[in-house]
Amino acid sequence: MTIAVKKIILGQFLKLPYIDESPAWEYINTEVVQKPMGGGKHSLLQKRLVAAIDAVGSN
């Protein structure tokens, strides 16, 4: 679920104290939106992707 905080300009967004918190925050069309955390399928895909990249990198 995403939560829109309010409409602001980019300069204001970059000065927000919490934009580096997890889950990440995004600036989309003047709205500040918090990205949802990835779920189980996301984690599994991420592990497989890392393993594939590591396999290619070690050759």
Three-point CA angle 53, 1, 14, nearest 5°: 75
Give the model's confidence band at 2: pLDDT under 50 very low, under 70 low, under 90 confident, else very high. Answer: low
Say whether pTM exceeds 0.85: no
- DSSP string covering 13-48: HHT-TTTTSSS-EEEETTEEEEPPPP-HHHHHHHHH
Q: What is the pLDDT of residues 17-56, one digit of tens each?
A: 888 887 888 898 988 888 887 788 888 999 999 999 999 9
Q: Which contiguous run of DSSP H or E holds residue 56?
A: helix 40-57
Kindly list the domain boundaries of the chain, sorted by start residue. 4-57
Task: State whether the Cα torsion 42-48-51-57 is positive or negative.
Answer: negative
Q: Which contiguous run of DSSP H or E holds residue 49?
A: helix 40-57
